[in-house]
Each structure stands twice: as structure tokens, then as C-alpha cells.
Structure 1
Amino acid sequence: MAEPGTLTRADLAEAIHLEIGLSRAESAAIVEQLLGHIGDALAKGENVKISSFGSFVLRDKGERIGRNPKTGIEVPIAPRRVLTFRASQMMRDRIVRAG
């Protein structure tokens, strides 16, 4: 069971089932396909923008020097690609109104 306040794949599938009337299996398949398409696009290096929701943006971070907090020893941090999410203005407005 999901943590309180956490929306899961099963929750999304159930919402589709209740609102659209598809079977639970069809609803779960739609959720899996949608998440699969988003994941595939990100894996190919494409950014994903969902209008009125937000954007998943890939960023390349260069190598840098970090510090081990326990020992204080400097260590190189390898370059990597990170995924960030930026909520649309409409979504930010909805969050502010809900809070």
C-alpha cells in the first residue's frame, strides 16, 4: 500500500477506470503505456513537456570536486546526466491555491 499522500500507478489506473469507464486492466495498460512513452523519450535524451502540467528536462552536469562530509577529503564527482522537473505556471498556481 502507498504512503498517505502518495499517488501510485494503481491510483492513476483506478481514476481512469472510474472516470472513463474502461476496465481496470485497460486502465492499468494505459498508465503503463503512458509512463513507458515518457521513459523512452527521456532515455533517448529528449525532454518531455506536458502542457498545463510541467516539463521533465535532462541536464548534463560536468565533473566537479566534492568533499566527503565525514572525512573532509576532496573527491572528484563524475559527470552525469540528471533529470529535473519544472512545474508549469498553471500547476504552480493550483498548488498555491490548494495549500
Structure 2
Amino acid sequence: MRWSSWVLFAAGIATGANAASLTQVTENFGPNPRNVGFYIYVPDKLAVNPPILVNPHWCHGNAQVCYTGSQFATLASQYGFIVIYPDSPNTADKCWDVSSNATLKHDAAR
């Protein structure tokens, strides 16, 4: 599934009872070999063909803190775009893997 497809799939999930709130996506949205967590904010009113903003957190942070520590959700509600807050699977320090072969190369071995 292309990333745009799973984002729209997740947006469809989030537009139910959890609309206009940070929603953890736990549904199977396609291959996720690194087990990256995925949260999404979908405002009550979306723009036509809404833009999608991805807001990764900093080392030692997490998706929820990134959500509460930025104005993106407020702006998304104002302008009708979707915000994705990925969450690092690294439990030791919550930093993103930005240097291993598995991250730097498509389909690379660990």
C-alpha cells in the first residue's frame, strides 16, 4: 500500500468518534518493518484534497508531546489539513534511526 493510501485509510478511521483529536492508528496500514508508531490529527472540517503534514518528534520526545507542544493541530483545524505524528519505536531513547543500513537503504538488511 502506498503511503498516501494508508494515510487516507487512517484519516478515514480518525474521522469517526475521534475526529479533531490525536488518534493512535493501530489498524494494519501496510508493511511496517520498523514498528513505527503512528498518530494522526484530522480536523472536523477537511479542505478539498487536504494537504498532509508529517511532524516527527525530537530525540527523547514522543508523538503526544510533539502534538501538545506545537500549533499544528490548531492550524490544521483552521486550514483543514491532516497532521501525522510518527512515534519512534526506539524504546531506549526515542531517537530516530538515521544512520543504519536498514534505514538508509530501501529493503536493506539490518
- Say whether the fold is shared (TM-score over 0.5): no
Q: Which has the higher strand share?
A: 1
Q: Which has the higher helix share?
A: 1
Larger Rg: 1
Bigger relative contact order, structure 1 or 2 (CA pairs below 8 A, ≥6 apart): 2
When the two structures are superposed, what TM-score results if normalisation uses the length of structure 1? 0.30
When the two structures are superposed, what TM-score results if normalisation uses the length of structure 2? 0.28
